[in-house]
Amino acid sequence: MNTAMELGPTVGLAALMAVAATQADVIVGYAWAFGAGAVVYLVAALAATAVVRRRAG
């Protein structure tokens, strides 16, 4: 296992918890963290799609 695979989830979880901690209400904080995670995954999926299309074309 490489370092990115070991540290990636840890850093991602820490970032999401930082987003959640910025909100005073716990439920709202987790909703913000979930939304931020969804946006990050959407951007990553779009970037991966662009890379695959560039290599295929």
pLDDT at 30: 78
pTM over 0.75: no
Which residues of the chain are modeled with pLDDT < 50? none
pLDDT at 20: 75
Give the CB-side neighbour count of residue 32, counting CA atoms within 13 A: 14
pLDDT at 23: 64
pLDDT at 25: 67
pLDDT at 48: 92
- Alpha helices per DSSP H over the chain: 3-21, 26-56
